[in-house]
Amino acid sequence: MAPERWLFWHRRDLRLADNLGLAAAAAATPAVTGLYVLDPAIVSGPLMAPARAWFLCESLRELAVRWRAAGSRLLILQGDPAVLVAQAALATGASVVAWNREVEPYGRERDRQVAAALRAQDTRVLVDWDQLLVAPEAIRTGAGEPYRVYGPFLRNWRGQVEGRAALGAGSAGGLEPVAAPGGLLDLEPSALPAERAPLWQALPMLSAVPSAEELGFPFSGADLCPCRPGEAAALAQLQAFADGGVNGGPLAAYEPGRNLPGEAGTSALSAALSVGTLSPRQAWAAARGARALARSAEALTSIGVWEQELAWREFYQQALFHFPELAEGPYRPQWKVFPWENDPERLRAWREGCTGFPIVDAAMRQLNTSGWMHNRCRMIVASFLVKDLICDWRQGEQVFMQRLVDGDLAANNGGWQWSASSGMDPRPLRIFNPATQAAKFDPEATYIRRWLPELAHVATADLISGAIGPLERRGYPEPIVSHKVQQARFKALHAALPRG
- Catalytic entry in 9, 416, 418, 451: 416
Residue 412 is a catalytic residue:
no
- Catalytic entry in 9, 54, 393, 451: 393
Do residues 196 and 80 make contact, with C-beta atoms less than 8 angstroms apart?
no
- Catalytic entry in 162, 340, 341, 368: 340
Residue 12: how many other CB atoms lie within 10 Å: 19
- Catalytic entry in 4, 298, 309, 341: 309
Residue 312 is a catalytic residue:
yes
Q: What's the first-to-final CA gap in the chain, in angstroms? A: 66
- Catalytic entry in 298, 312, 341, 368: 312
Do residues 32 and 3 make contact, with C-beta atoms less than 8 angstroms apart?
no
User: Residues near 121 by Cβ (< 8 Å), separated by ≥ 6?
Assistant: 86, 89, 90
Residue 393 is a catalytic residue:
yes
The residue length of the chain stands at 500
Return d(Cα 157, Cα 5) in angstroms, integer: 37
- Catalytic entry in 156, 368, 375, 433: 375
Do residues 293 and 252 make contact, with C-beta atoms less than 8 angstroms apart?
no
Residue 340 is a catalytic residue:
yes
Catalytic positions, written as ranges: 309, 312, 340, 375, 393, 416
